[in-house]
């Protein structure tokens, strides 16, 4: 993260290094103010948002425990808090894991499963000038005791002490719970050397801008700040990510991450994260080349550099910029097809416009809180979708363009692009008006959302329920052994299975079926979605021969099964066509009143 979010993180980190507080002291000293912005507005029907809990701390992560039915949140200085859910309402907040039980004083990531917490972050010095990455596991034993394991630490490496020093931030548990993915963020804006301030001379190091994957049962892994040693360790999953502040698996068990750009007006990224891929940082950001890698570079002529960044000399000519890795093909971000979060700045004239394929989101939205509808508990059009928050620093500060309000929840509908072996995404804004969002946790059809004002919000989406199966069989006027089956099933079935009772089946929604012989047939439809299935049956009868007794005075096209037996009268105004597979029997009751232009045919 960047801007005010990271400024607050760093401030709280320094406070944590200086003095550890008890939970009661913490509540008294840093209670967040409950804020009820009237501007929070769902943009789609069927979505509601309400304040779930005003907290006594500033949460950066939220997770859910299915066994005890409670939420856990954490803040940057290392506290983990418990918020029980009682009859759908939030209970009292309590401190659960204090920072003195682990080695993290700059806590940014947390996952939870099977009574086990995994916390990630950095242990920084009081001056915040250096630190090391840490992954800690805490298993809550049946008797309530905490069993701590240090899963991973890194070699000490310097911090840049800047807003874009992202450290160990994002964490994601694998679907089969055998490993965790850990994002070690960048410590520079665009890979430049720090040319001023207290941290002059710093660039990215081997431990930064990577994603590591380690076993769930890991213990005391040590990662050195050495590229060759890291490559040999087998723990490096992906490279070239600036700061995957959040990662999540979709229903197909594919891993995705979201990250923000730096001070330049490059798009924010969403990436399909795959093993051994390089996502370009610091040479590529948001689908753009980093201009500082090319010498000479004149920042004053760069239309994507905001005036404030130019004034602070963040961008400048950098002849020592590291060379691109040879023989490496960068994997590009996912392209956003809109309709929202797709504003981009024209590098030629500096004008903002809506792009048709932005890689991926409007710059400076600071995407956080990525979750997917993995269990398909949501109604269409949300079934299987992803959901992403936009932090919106300082309620509209930073470099966020006026054209994009951010501070929202967006739906992400991924579409696989086989030609490019990547995804594209349709991004739709669902709720607006939030401020300083940090994380999200999906529980059924509810998404719990945290912010740096000390709130948990409850966003409720339409819930998918099991189908109610129904259909009607419509006999064709022209061919009496042909039926159209009109599906009337409710609650958004996703698959259909028809059995026509004659040994044939179909998976179409509204099939047409023709029977070869007369007889009685039981038609069965099974409609199914991820929440269940239901079966509906009906019986039809086809008579061979097909007997016609009623008189016909108008036009008629009668196509029966094998035999038509006509016992009826046809009036002079009628135009009648009979068709049968074998023959037509004109019984003694059949009469024609005067002349008929056309009245029977054999097939």
Per-residue pLDDT at 36 exceeds 90: no
DSSP letter for each residue of 324-338: PPTT-PBPPPPEEEE
Mean pLDDT of the chain: 88
- Thinking of the domain 3-460, which architecture would CATH place it in? 6 Propeller (2.120)
Span 309-322, average pLDDT: 91
The model carries a pTM of 0.84
Q: What angle do CA 478, 481, 483 make, to 5 degrees?
A: 80
* Amino acid 190: pLDDT: 93
Token duo for residue 570: 């046809």
Span 341-360, average pLDDT: 95
Domain residue ranges of the chain, discontinuous segments joined by +: 3-460, 471-542, 546-592
Span 215-221, average pLDDT: 97
Among candidates 348, 435, 345, which has minimal Cα distance to 399? 345
Among candidates 365, 392, 389, which has minimal Cα distance to 286? 365
Q: How far apart are CA 587 and CA 30, in angstroms?
A: 97
CA quadruple 349, 350, 354, 358: dihedral sign = positive
**How many CA atoms are closer than 13 Å to the CA of 359, on its beta-carbon side?**
17
Cis peptide before 380 (omega within 30 of 0): no
Q: How far apart are CA 150 and CA 368, in angstroms?
A: 26
Span 237-262, average pLDDT: 96
Tokens 């798009």 correspond to: 267
Span 294-302, average pLDDT: 95
Q: Pick the range with the lowest mean pLDDT from 143-147, 331-335, 479-483, 505-509.
A: 479-483
The continuous run of DSSP H or E covering 213 comes out as strand 210-215
Contacts of 88 (CB under 8 A, 6+ apart): none
Between 141 and 592, where is the model more confident?
141
* Amino acid 478: pLDDT: 66
Does the fold of domain 471-542 match that of domain 3-460? no
Per-residue pLDDT at 38 exceeds 90: no
Share of the chain above pLDDT 90, in %: 70
Span 71-96, average pLDDT: 96
User: pLDDT (tens digit, 9 = 90+) per residue, 3-30?
Assistant: 434 444 433 333 333 334 444 444 444 4
Q: How far apart are CA 534 and CA 549, in angstroms?
A: 40
Span 164-173, average pLDDT: 91
DSSP letter for each residue of 177-202: SSEEEEEE--SSSSSPPP-SGGGTT-
User: pLDDT (tens digit, 9 = 90+) per residue, 438-467?
Assistant: 999 999 999 999 999 999 999 999 999 999
Span 221-240, average pLDDT: 97
Q: Phi, psi at residue 65, to the nearest 5°?
A: -105, 110
Q: What angle do CA 273, 279, 281 make, to 5 degrees?
A: 140
Between 81 and 314, where is the model more confident?
81
Q: Using 50, 70 and 90 to split pLDDT, how confident is the model at 397?
A: low
The residues that bridge with 372 in the sheet, in sequence order, are 386
Is residue 79 within 8 A of residue 57, CB to CB? The reply is: yes
Class of 471-542 per CATH?
mainly beta
Mark residue 258 as left, alpha or beta (left: phi above 0; alpha: psi -120 to 50; beta: remaining): beta
* Amino acid 395: pLDDT: 47
Between 406 and 160, where is the model more confident?
406
Tokens 């005003």 correspond to: 54
Q: Using 50, 70 and 90 to split pLDDT, how confident is the model at 509?
A: very high
* Amino acid 63: pLDDT: 98
**CB atoms inside a 10 Å sphere around CB 174:** 15
Give the CA dihedral 93, 183, 247, 53, nearest 10 degrees.
10
């Amino acid at each position: 993260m960047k801007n005010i979010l990271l400024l607050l993180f760093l401030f709280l980190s320094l406070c944590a290094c200086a003095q550890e507080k008890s939970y009661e002291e913490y509540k008294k000293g840093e209670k967040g103010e409950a804020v009820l912005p009237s501007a929070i507005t769902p943009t789609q029907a069927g979505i509601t948002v309400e304040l779930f809990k005003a907290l006594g701390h500033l949460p950066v992560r939220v997770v859910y425990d299915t066994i005890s039915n409670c939420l856990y949140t954490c803040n940057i200085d290392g506290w983990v808090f418990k918020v029980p859910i009682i009859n759908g309402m939030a209970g009292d907040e309590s401190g659960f894991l204090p920072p003195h039980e682990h080695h993290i004083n700059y806590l940014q990531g947390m996952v939870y499963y099977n009574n086990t917490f995994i916390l990630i972050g950095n242990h920084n010095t009081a001056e915040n000038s250096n630190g090391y990455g840490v992954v800690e596991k805490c298993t809550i034993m049946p008797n309530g005791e905490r069993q701590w394991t240090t899963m991973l630490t890194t070699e000490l490496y310097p911090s840049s002490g800047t807003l874009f020093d992202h450290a160990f931030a994002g964490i994601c548990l694998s679907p089969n719970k055998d490993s965790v993915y850990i994002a070690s963020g960048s410590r520079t804006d665009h890979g430049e050397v720090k040319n001023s301030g207290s941290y002059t001379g710093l660039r990215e190091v081997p431990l930064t801008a990577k994603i590591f994957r380690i076993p769930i049962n890991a213990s005391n892994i040590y990662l050195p700040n050495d590229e060759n040693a890291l490559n040999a360790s087998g723990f490096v999953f992906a490279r070239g990510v600036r700061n995957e502040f959040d990662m999540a698996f979709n229903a197909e068990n594919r891993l995705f991450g979201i990250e923000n750009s730096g001070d330049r007006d490059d798009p924010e990224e969403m990436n399909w994260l795959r093993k051994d891929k390089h996502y370009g940082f610091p040479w590529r950001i948001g689908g753009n080349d980093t201009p500082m890698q090319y010498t000479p570079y004149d920042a004053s002529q760069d239309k994507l550099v905001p005036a404030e960044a130019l004034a602070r000399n963040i961008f400048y000519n950098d002849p020592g910029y590291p060379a691109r890795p040879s023989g490496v093909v960068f994997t590009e971000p996912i392209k956003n097809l809109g309709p929202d979060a797709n504003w981009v700045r024209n590098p030629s004239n500096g004008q903002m416009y809506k792009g048709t394929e932005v890689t991926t989101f409007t710059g400076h939205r600071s995407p956080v809180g990525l979750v997917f509808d993995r269990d398909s508990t949501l109604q269409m059009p949300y079934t299987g979708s992803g959901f992403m928050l936009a932090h919106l620093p300082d309620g509209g500060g930073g470099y966020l363009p006026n054209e994009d309000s951010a501070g929202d929840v967006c739906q992400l509908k991924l579409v696989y692009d086989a030609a490019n072996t990547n995804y594209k995404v349709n991004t739709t804004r669902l709720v607006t008006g939030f401020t300083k969002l940090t994380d999200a946790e999906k529980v059924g059809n509810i998404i719990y959302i945290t912010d740096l004002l000390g709130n948990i919000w409850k966003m409720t989406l339409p819930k998918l329920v099991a189908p109610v199966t129904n259909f009607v069989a419509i006999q064709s006027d022209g061919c009496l052994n042909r039926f159209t089956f009109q599906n009337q099933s409710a609650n958004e079935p996703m698959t259909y299975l028809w059995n026509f009772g004659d040994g044939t089946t179909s998976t179409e929604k509204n099939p047409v079926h023709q029977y070869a012989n007369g007889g009685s047939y039981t038609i069965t439809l099974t409609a199914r979605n991820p929440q269940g299935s239901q079966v509906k049956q009906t019986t039809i009868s086809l008579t061979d021969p097909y007997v016609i007794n009623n008189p016909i005075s108008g036009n008629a096209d009668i196509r029966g099964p094998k035999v038509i037996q006509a016992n009826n009268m046809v009036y002079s105004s009628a135009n009648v066509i009979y068709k049968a597979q074998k023959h037509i029997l004109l019984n003694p009751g059949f009469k024609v009143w005067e002349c008929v232009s056309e009245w029977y045919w054999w097939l």
